[in-house]
Each structure stands twice: as structure tokens, then as C-alpha cells.
Structure 1
Amino acid sequence: MPNQRLRDSLLRNGLDFDHVAKATGVDPKTVERWVTRDRTPYPRHRHAIASLVRETETYLWPDAVAPDTKKEINESEVVQVYAHRHSINQDVWAHLLSQARLNVSVLVYSGMFLTDNPALIRTMRQKAEEGVKIRLLLGDPASREVARRSVEEGIGKGTLAAKVRNALAFFKPLANSGHAEIRCHKTTLYNSIYRFDDEMLVNTHVHGFMAGHAPVLHLRRLSGGDLFETYAESFQGVWDGAKPSKW
């Protein structure tokens, strides 16, 4: 049975068996067996391939890492835990955005606190011009999910929807200029996600509390880990089901 994840990752990056063979120091026939027969490479080869296609070992070979090793890696993916989002220093947000080279992905309902940064639009536009892919997922202000979350936060049924509309207006220039793609979703959010390449802030949602008062996990992606990959796949699932925002 072929390893479809490995095959797709190679195709997406424009790589063939010869490219991988040179990077790993093996025969192209060996690489072919890794793909077409789902043979598992040695650890040193897995590291090289994962780096080559910018994926984790866990994603490419889910059963390759021993449980004890995977537990250690998952624990190491947690850089820091913040009791409240509002306690995160602004320097942390600025650093994560400034070091992004490939993608910035945001999943929120409104994310209005981001608009407190007057330079955010300018910075995001600059990052996009440097080749960074920017994807923003905001809640559909007309959805039942946004209304329900507004009630659960104790701020009134229509308050969060108004915040979403304000956030959409704030980010609209980025979409109009082609510097970002913005979509609206109708999912029930169990957490907000702020991804900057291989680092991520995951803001949990707690019933009865506004997101700013809820805990945040600062994660850094490690090859062989599951934690970062879980939230990355969650973001992609919501993105795939969302629709372009209507202005």
C-alpha cells in the first residue's frame, strides 16, 4: 500500500525520487519503495525527508516513532503555558510575526485585540510582499455559533457579531490589495489559533470567560510530535469548510 502522505508531500514540493535519493544518500529504488510500498525509512532518513518537504515525521509516518519517544517530543513542543492571553507580552506577538517566512494563519471569531496594534496592517502587508502567505479565518457574524459564543461569554447575544464586523472592516484593506485571504466560518471554536510558521499560540476557550482571560499554549513544531500537527490540521479543516468573506 503506498504512502499517500509522502507521495503528496513530494509532489507538492516538486520533488522526485532522485531529489530524495540525493538528500538521503540512498538509491532512488529505495525511495520508490518508501513511497509505493510504504516502507519506513531509518530515523536519519526520516529527519532529512521531513525537513525537505517541511512536514513532521508523525504526519509522514504516523507509526514510526515509539510511544515513549513521542511522549517526550510532545511535551517538548510546549514552549510555555500562559494562564491568560492578556498576560502575553506584546513583544512575543511582534517577534512571532516578524520571524514568519512562510505563513501566518489566524483562526478566531473576531480577534479584535489584534487591532490594538496600529502597525499590524502595514506589517502584514510587508510580510505578504516578502512572500509570506497570510490566511485569516473570522467567524461569520450572522451565524448561530457566533451568537451562542457571545452569550456564553456573558457579553450579550449580538456583541460578538459586532466585534466580528469591526474586525472584518479592519482587515478589509489586506484582502482588497491581495495581501491576505480572508474567510468566514461557522464552526464552534474550542480554541483560537495563531500560527507563525512552526510556532503557534493556541488560545483555549472556556465557558463563561472571554478569550482574553483564558489560557494559551505556546507551541513549537518538532519532527515526530503530534501536538502542533493536531492544531495545524484543525485549522486546515476549518479553512477548507469556510467561505470567502462578504464585504
Structure 2
Amino acid sequence: MANERLRDALMNVGHSTSTAADHVGVDAKTVERWLTQDRVPYPRHRGALALLVGRSESYLWPDALPAQRQSKAAASEIVETFPHRSDVPSQLWDSLLQRSSSRIDVLVHAGQFLHERPNFISTLKAKAEVGACVRIAFGTPESEATERRSSEENLGQGVLGARIRYGLVSYRPLLGTQGIEFRFHDTTLYNSIFRFDDEMIVNMHIYGVPGPHAPAMHVRKLAAGDVFETYERSFLDVWEQSEPAAW
């Protein structure tokens, strides 16, 4: 049985069987067998391939890792949990933003607290100007999903949509900056996601509880784990079905 996950992951990062073989240190025919015969590589090769394609070992080879190791890897990815998003230290937000160099992804409804942070907007611009990819998805202000969330948080009709529109003003200096893209999404937002390279803050949403009062966790990507990757895929799924933000 072919390993389509591995094949697709290699294609997405532009690697052939030959280049992947060179990177891992094996013969190209060995990589071909991993692809076409679903052969499971040795642990050292699994780790190198997972790092190469940016996917977890448990995603590429679901049956290769014992359940106990998968569980331990998942636990190890969770750096810290916070009872409320407002409890996430300011120093952590600043550190994650400053250390990021290649990717910053944000999935929110309004996310007002971000642009209210000193230098957040100017730092995004500076990061993009040196090659970082910045993607921010806001809730569509007039959508049913946004209005429902506004009601569930007891904010009142149209309040959350107005907050989104208000917040967009702060991002205007970034319009036209290469590497920065804004979109609107109409999805039910189960989690707000704030990704900084291989680390992220995930803010869980609870019915009737405002985002700042809901729990959050700091997650760091590990090759053998799949917690980070689960939220990464969730962001991508929303991003792919969202539309360019209408300013």
C-alpha cells in the first residue's frame, strides 16, 4: 500500500525521491520503497523525513509509533496551560513574536488585544519585510457566525462585527506590504490560533465565555507529536475557504 501522506508531503516542499534520499542519507530506491510499498523507515530516518517535510511522524506513519510514545509526545508539545487567555504573560507574547522569522498565522474573530499591544503592527511589518509570511484571518463582520458568537458572549447585536471593523483600522498601515495577507472567514471558531514559526498559543472558546476568560495553552512543535499539527491543519482548512478581507 502506497504512503500517499509521505508522497504528498514531499511534493508540497518540492522534494523528489532523489533529493529526499540525499537529505536522509539513503539510496533513492529506498525512498521509493517507502512511498510505493509503505515500508516504515528506521526511527532516525523517520525523524529526518518528518523534519524535512514539516509533518509529524505520527501523521506520516500512524502505526509506527507505540500509543504510549504518541501520548508522551503529545504531552511534551504542550509547554504550559493557562486558565484564561488573559493570564498568558505579556513577555511570552512579545518573545514569540520577536523570535519568529518565517511564519506568523493568526485566526480570530476580532483579536483586538493584539493590535493594542505596543509595536505589534510595526513588528509585523518589519518581519514581513525580511521574508516572513504573515496571514491573519478575521471573522466576516456581517456573517451569521460572527453574529451568533456576539450573541453567545452576551455582547449584543452587531457588537462583535463592529469590533472587527474597528480593529481593521489599526492594520491599514500593513495594506500592500508584501508577505502580509488578510482574509475574512465565516466558520464557527472553536479556537483562536496564534502561530509563531513552530510555536503557538491556542485560545479555546467556550459557550458564553469571552475569549480572554477562556483557557489557553502554549504549544511547541515536535517531530513525533501531532498536537501542533492538528491546530496547524485547522488554521489551513479555515484559510483555504476564507475570502480576501474587504476593507
Deviation at 1:223, TM superposition (A): 1.2
Deviation at 1:171, TM superposition (A): 1.7
Deviation at 1:124, TM superposition (A): 0.4
Matched, 1:17 2:17: yes
Please name the residue that 1:66 is paired with.
66
Deviation at 1:130, TM superposition (A): 1.7
Q: Does structure 1 retain, via aligned residues, the 8 Å contact 2:193–2:235?
A: yes
Deviation at 1:175, TM superposition (A): 3.0
Please give the residue correspondences for 1:166-181 in structure 2 after superposition, counting only pairs within 5 Å. 166-181=166-181
Tell me, in whole angstroms, the C-alpha distance in 2 between the residues paired with 1:201 and 1:110: 16
Please name the residue that 2:129 is paired with.
129
Question: Normalising to structure 2: TM-score of the pair?
Answer: 0.95
Tell me, in whole angstroms, the C-alpha distance in 1 between the residues paired with 2:7 and 2:229: 18
Q: Does structure 1 retain, via aligned residues, the 8 Å contact 2:55–2:229?
A: no
Please give the residue correspondences for 1:147-186 in structure 2 after superposition, counting only pairs within 5 Å. 147-186=147-186
Please name the residue that 1:193 is paired with.
193
Give the percent of matched residue pairs that are identical in Structure 1 and Structure 2: 46
Deviation at 1:228, TM superposition (A): 1.2
Q: Deviations over 1:36-71 (max 9, x none)?
A: 222211111000111122222122222221111101
Deviation at 1:116, TM superposition (A): 1.2
Tell me the SS of whatever aligns to 2:97: helix
Structure 1: runs of 5+ lacking an equivalent: none
Please give the residue correspondences for 1:43-82 in structure 2 after superposition, counting only pairs within 5 Å. 43-82=43-82
Tell me the SS of whatever aligns to 2:63: coil
Structure 1 residues 10-19 or 181-190, which shifts more?
10-19
Please name the residue that 1:237 is paired with.
237
Residue 244 of structure 2 aligns with an amino acid whose one-letter code is: P
Tell me, in whole angstroms, the C-alpha distance in 2 between the residues paired with 1:45 and 1:22: 12
Deviation at 1:101, TM superposition (A): 1.9
- How many residue pairs match? The answer is 247
Please name the residue that 1:113 is paired with.
113
Tell me, in whole angstroms, the C-alpha distance in 2 between the residues paired with 1:41 and 1:220: 25
Taking only aligned residues, the RMSD between alpha carbons, in angstroms, comes to 1.3
Tell me, in whole angstroms, the C-alpha distance in 2 between the residues paired with 1:232 and 1:243: 19
Q: Does structure 1 retain, via aligned residues, the 8 Å contact 2:129–2:178?
A: no
- Moved segments of 4+, more than 3 Å: none
Q: Does structure 1 retain, via aligned residues, the 8 Å contact 2:131–2:179?
A: no
Tell me, in whole angstroms, the C-alpha distance in 2 between the residues paired with 1:7 and 1:115: 40
Deviation at 1:27, TM superposition (A): 1.6
Please name the residue that 2:141 is paired with.
141
Question: Normalising to structure 1: TM-score of the pair?
Answer: 0.95
Structure 2: runs of 5+ lacking an equivalent: none
Tell me the SS of whatever aligns to 2:207: coil
Tell me the SS of whatever aligns to 2:175: helix
Deviation at 1:19, TM superposition (A): 2.1
Q: Deviations over 1:108-133 (max 9, x none)?
A: 00000112123111100111112111
Structure 1 residues 32-41 or 65-74, which shifts more?
32-41
Tell me, in whole angstroms, the C-alpha distance in 1 between the residues paired with 2:53 and 2:214: 35
Please name the residue that 1:225 is paired with.
225
